[in-house]
């Protein structure tokens, strides 16, 4: 297995651990995935960088002032969600109270996260990983 394949596999393991919802801290994820805490930090930086690129595309397509305001909040919220993934399992009203989001903004956040997961799964399937 090449270094690139190992990196992709580690990123997938981290995303699976986050999506499973049973781990709430980077150290717990590192133990579950069986990689070093330093490598977990690198993986999180790569995930954040990818989200940043997608976020810029969303911002470029904003046509309304409300959309621009949401994506300003959104760019701050994504690192928080990455560091505490169980947030996505909260009820909408708690997320909206905690982060000052409207109900529509909470739903947009959930849609973004769901789309991101589907895109990752499609990429994995295209690359030959049928276990997704």
How many Å separate Cα 45 from the centre of its chain?
Answer: 11
pLDDT at 26: 80
Interval 4-24: pLDDT, tens? 677 777 777 787 777 776 676
Model confidence, pTM:
0.42
Widest pairwise Cα distance in the chain: 48
Interval 80-122: pLDDT, tens? 776 676 777 888 888 888 888 888 878 877 777 766 666 666 6
pLDDT at 1: 64
What mean pLDDT is predicted for residues 53-69? 63
DSSP 8-state class, residue 88:
G
| 47 pLDDT above the threshold of 70 | yes
pLDDT at 100: 81
> Which of 20, 21, 24, 18 lies closest to 43 in space, CA to CA?
18
pLDDT at 51: 66
Structural domain boundaries in the chain = 3-126
Confidence band for 49, pLDDT divided at 50, 70 and 90? confident
pLDDT at 118: 67
Interval 66-76: pLDDT, tens? 666 666 777 77
| Phi, psi dihedrals of residue 34, rounded to the nearest 5° | 65, 50
């Amino acid at each position: 297995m090449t270094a690139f394949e190992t990196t992709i596999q580690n990123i997938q393991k981290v995303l699976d651990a986050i999506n499973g919802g049973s781990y709430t801290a980077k150290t717990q994820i590192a133990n579950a995935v069986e990689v070093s805490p330093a490598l977990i930090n690198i993986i999180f930086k790569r995930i954040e960088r990818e989200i940043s690129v997608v976020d810029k595309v969303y911002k470029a397509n904003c046509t309304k002032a409300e959309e621009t305001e949401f994506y300003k909040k959104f760019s701050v919220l994504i690192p928080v969600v990455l560091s505490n993934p169980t947030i996505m399992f909260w009820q909408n009203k708690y997320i909206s109270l905690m982060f000052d989001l409207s109900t529509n903004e909470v739903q947009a956040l959930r849609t973004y996260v769901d789309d991101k997961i589907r895109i990752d799964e499609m990429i994995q399937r295209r690359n030959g990983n049928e276990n997704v």
